[in-house]
Amino acid sequence: MSKKPPLADYNAKRDFSRSPEPAGRPGPARPSGPRFFCVQKHLASHLHYDFRLEHNGVLLSWAVPKGPSLDPGTKRLAMHVEDHPLDYGTFEGVIPEGYGAGIVMLWDRGTWEPEVPDVDAALARGDLKMRLEGFKLKGSWVLVRTPRDGGRSWLLIKHRDAWSSPELDIAEFAPLSVKSEGDFADILAQDRPEIWLSNRPARGGEAGAMLEKIVARALELRAGREKVPAAKPAKERAAARAKPPARKAARKVSAARAPSSRGSKSTPRRPARTPAPRSRKPR
Ligand code: MN
């Protein structure tokens, strides 16, 4: 969508000696059939959801501040941002400093297919209809460009179908990673939460408050993990195995049960926020 070499903007914004993000090289272009898509939940200076579609060897990317909505009546602002490398699609982790500093969670992934014959023409027109087959997002969607912000502002809208739902808040219902099954604190605890005791990427506002809690929780998780003895008694391990982990169950629910608008106006199930067992095997 630009005349520069592929991923030039992506690479220019990042110092790969300081960021764990993958360096950008375009991959092979797949002319037809299902392509990769993902949504990364990104807590940086603000919380947002990065919606990415594989096209011509890169991931076309939009930052969606409020995240996707399953309600066809709710149009979500989606700011077109620089293309990302295909490798970025499975990235989850901590960007300690610099551009996008914060925590990235792989919130959804799957495949997409255009519902139009020519993706480039649809992008040029500013109206891309597509089908998503993710764990959380499914069915027919559209990205529509608006005249605002020099054409950078698009809207992400769910089409009415078996996978739309006017009442289910998918971000609340299925908040966790499809890669690690963790939340932001879990992801940070795998890294070095202490780096953000000072100099956090977000200080003020909602994101700052959120990050402060996440850092505290990640430090607790780390401290707990370090205290956990290397080998639990066999009995305890067996008991832990027998108990279905709440988080895993929640993810299965979000993956398997499509929120459907067919038939009854069923109230959405309890959001998948059941606190998961915090004692995990140390890795
Ligand atoms: Mn982002």
Torsion-angle region of residue 84: left (phi > 0), alpha (psi -120 to 50) or beta? beta
Say if 210 falls within a structural domain.
yes
pLDDT attached to residue 81: 97
Q: pLDDT under 50 in the chain at which residues? A: 1-2, 244-283
According to the model, what pLDDT value does residue 269 have?
43
Q: Is residue 48 part of a domain?
A: yes
Report how far ligand 1's centroid is from the alpha carbon of 105 (Å). Answer: 10
For residue 50, how far is its CA from the centre of ligand 1 (angstroms)?
Answer: 5
Q: How far is the CA of 134 from the centre of ligand 1 (A)?
A: 19
In angstroms, rounded to a whole number, what is the distance separating the alpha carbons of residues 50 and 68? Answer: 10
| Residue 253 included in any domain | no
Tokens 């982990």 -> residue: 245
pLDDT score recorded for residue 74:
98
pLDDT digit string, tens, across residues 47-95: 999 999 999 999 999 999 999 999 999 999 999 999 999 999 999 999 9
pLDDT in the model for residue 200:
87
CA of 44 to the centre of ligand 1 (A): 7
234 occurs within a structural domain: no
215 in Cβ contact with 200 (< 8 Å)? yes
**Total count of domains within the chain:** 1
Phi and psi dihedrals of 21, rounded to 5?
-65, 150
pLDDT at 5: 86
CB atoms within 10 A of CB 3: 5
Residue 178 lies in a domain: yes
47: containing domain: 8-227
262 within some domain: no
Residue 252 lies in a domain: no
Say if residue 199 is exposed, middle or buried (CB neighbours under 10 Å; 0-12, 13-18, 19+).
exposed
What distance in angstroms lies between residue 63's CA and the mean position of ligand 1's atoms?
Answer: 6
* Integer Cα distance of 88 and 53 in angstroms: 11
Find the 100 Cα to ligand 1 centroid distance in Å.
6
> How high is the pLDDT of residue 258?
44
pLDDT tens digits along 228-245:
565 555 555 555 555 544
What is the Cβ-side half-sphere exposure of residue 183, based on CA atoms within 13 angstroms? 22
Residue 232 lies in a domain: no
**How remote is the CA of residue 51 from the centroid of ligand 1, in Å?**
9
pLDDT at 132: 98
The alpha carbon of 79 and the centre of ligand 1 are apart by a number of angstroms equal to 10
Q: Which helix (H) or strand (E) holds 122?
A: helix 119-125
Which pLDDT score, from 0 to 100, does residue 54 have? 97
Query: What pTM did the predictor assign?
Result: 0.79
Burial 22-51 (b: 16+ CB within 10 A, else e): bebeebeeeeeeebbbbbbbbbbbebbbbb
